[in-house]
Chains A and B, each alone.
Chain A
Amino acid sequence: MNIVECTDVNKTYQQGQVQIVALKDVSFCIETGAFVALAGPSGSGKTTLLNLIGGLDSADSGDITVDGNPFGQMSQSQLAKLRLYMVGFVFQAYNLIPVRSAAENVEFVMLLQRIPVSERKQRARAILDEVGLGGKYDRRPAQLSGGQQQRVAVARAIVSNPSIVLADEPTANLDSKTGKGLLEIMKKMNLEKQITFIFSTHDKMVMDYARRLILLQDGRLADDRVK
């Protein structure tokens, strides 16, 4: 069963007087439980495509559905609710809330889902333990290393058991050892919890971990292969 379906997706940006084609007639499907890398050089449209799949941005034309929900017909509020329950994000720059501790960052999604406080705390600590941050619950992002912050971001993305996690160059700011550790964690979550993972990356190590590689070149789908 497909969790993501993209059909003839186009996206153009205006940069001053210049129009930049970010995506051109991109079509593909991703099945539930996949571990997919969207690869390509800088400017190939990876992040744009990830943002469109996450409903953070809207396509100029074409259809995107996630778990049967057509994004083109949904309001910002409906998209936000969909993201809350179905989509987890891991960003290249971690994007943790600086004034909240690691546990509170993880709890925030559950807070929005109105999960009772005791359950929130218990689940946040459990997932932080799982990503190897046991004992660092109360540290604020500034008190954690880049790798640790990205693990908090992964914990935040998966704590509410979303159907899909979108990771935008998750290892770009990490050394190879830390990056590998993070990929192991995500792979484990993918296998154990059947969460679909979609990465945008130009990191060879991430591509090696992915079971499917979608290659983008100048906004077009250049290759799509299952390993």
Chain B
Amino acid sequence: MTIDVKMAWRNIWRNPRRSILTISAIAFSSLLLVFMLSFQFGSYETMINTSVKIHIGHLQVQADEYLDKKTIGLVVPNPAAVAAVLETIPQVEAYTFRGQTFSLVSSKQRTCGAVVTGIDPRREAQVSRLKKLVRQGRFLSEKDRAQALIGKLLARNLRLGLGDELTVLGQARDGSIAATVVTIKGIYSSSIDEFDRSAIQIPLKTFQTVYAMNDAVHEVVIIAKSLSDVAGIKRSIESKLLALENQKPLRTLDWQELMPGLRQGIEMDLISGMIFYFLLILVVAFSILNTFLMAIFERTKEFGVMMAIGTTPGRLTKVLLIESMTLTVIGIISGILLGSMMTLYFQSRGIDFSGASDLLSQFGISGRMYPKLTMLSAISGPMAVWAITFLAALYPALKVRRMRPVDAMRAV
């Protein structure tokens, strides 16, 4: 241990109560930052994964401009070729095809507009949670042709029950009238009102026949093995789709482009969180600044004596910075350890948010939230504390550098 470190260590413990309080403030803020950031990141991942698995998917391959125009004519003409590309990407967990258009749906009593989606029952069950969301009746099977699933709210609005017939009337891809009658096989409830109020699902084959789609689809929906794989998969698909010959322009969209509302919500939450964290760190910085200014005022005469007997101002500055950084590092390491332990505890047990179930249900989340400890959530907050406390400690340390021994020794 160098002389400077020894001197700094000794100075820290001259006033143990004050040092422990300072370390505690730093540790507490670091603990809070580790836990809060882990909670935020964990809840974002839960929201994203839950939302994408209800319907949207992590990624979709669509015809260019389909997302904006939703025109029935903008199709993926050869889904088998896209499937062949997806089969070569190991990070892809599952994928499915969907046809989708807006039509009128009528029961005996009522008529309203709805999004009619053609789904591949077998693949859909691997990609989305739709099968698990069926509350009455059963999910579609591969043999079904004139059966449909309907959202709970739409069923209520149309006064439909299981086994009732529903007339679908729309425009086919070739401009002809698309019409069919389907029987309600299952009623689902996703807790996302918009989805439950405005959509029915029919078998993809039926959809392609009724809407003159031939083999074309509107969306190839992809689920990644992990959220962190999404960007890599997107790059792979984009590069491989370019290599396909005679292909009409296709576009690969990730969940952020497909659900801009969710992305914006996360960004808003992150920004408000950052403001809170910044204020928290600022309070800690002022606490550190106060501690060190106090230490300097108390020891001004001593600094004067030390300079008089041969200590250089640079060395005093160095010792003071070592003191502040030692306090900070002890506080930060304690905070990271305690914060990580607390996060891991709640990561396995979850935190009950049943009081906010209405809000959370918009994102398809049940009443429990799970923080997720990552390297980023464990390190980034405490590193910000370290940086700001370093700046806070720099001012008093540099103040010592400008001291003249004769003035310092006159201090009371």
Contacts and interface: CB of A to CB of B under 8 A. Distances in A.
Interface in B288-333: 301-302, 305-315
A108 B309 CA distance: 9
A51 to B, nearest CB: 5
A83 interface: yes
B14 interface: yes
A89 B309 contact: yes
A57 B404 CA distance: 7
Contact of A156 (B301, B309, B314, B406): B309
A91 B312 CA distance: 19
A97 B302 CA distance: 6
A83 B314 contact: no
B406 A57 contact: yes
B10 interface: yes
| Chain B interface, >50% SS class | helix
A74 interface: no
Nearest to B302: A97
Given A95-B301, A112-B3, A77 B313 contact: yes
Given A56-B406, A57-B406, A84 B3 contact: no
Given A99-B10, A99-B14, A114-B3, A81 B308 contact: no
B314 A112 contact: no
A20 interface: no
A80 interface: yes
Contacts, number: 62
Interface centre among B14, B301, B307, B314 (most CB of A within 10 A): B307
A56 B308 contact: yes
Interface in B5-19: 10, 14
Given A112-B3, A114-B3, A51 B310 contact: no
A51 B410 CA distance: 12
Contact of A95 (B10, B14, B310, B409): B409
B405 A97 contact: no
Nearest to B314: A77
A111 interface: yes
B311 A112 contact: yes
A51 B309 contact: no
Nearest to B403: A76
Nearest to B15: A99
A83 B14 contact: no
Contacts of B302: 97-98
Interface in B59-88: none
A97 B305 contact: yes
Contact of B309 (A76, A83, A99, A114): A83
Contacts of B409: 56, 91, 95
Nearest to A99: B14
Contact of B312 (A76, A98, A114): A76
A91 B308 CA distance: 10
Interface of B: 3, 10, 14, 301-302, 305-315, 404-406, 409
28 contacts: A56-B307, A56-B409, A57-B405, A57-B406, A77-B312, A77-B314, A80-B307, A81-B310, A81-B312, A84-B310, A84-B311, A85-B310, A88-B309, A95-B308, A95-B409, A96-B305, A97-B302, A97-B305, A97-B306, A99-B10, A99-B14, A108-B306, A109-B309, A109-B310, A112-B309, A112-B310, A112-B311, A156-B309
Interface of A: 51, 54, 56-57, 76-77, 80-81, 83-85, 88-89, 91, 95-99, 108-109, 111-114, 156
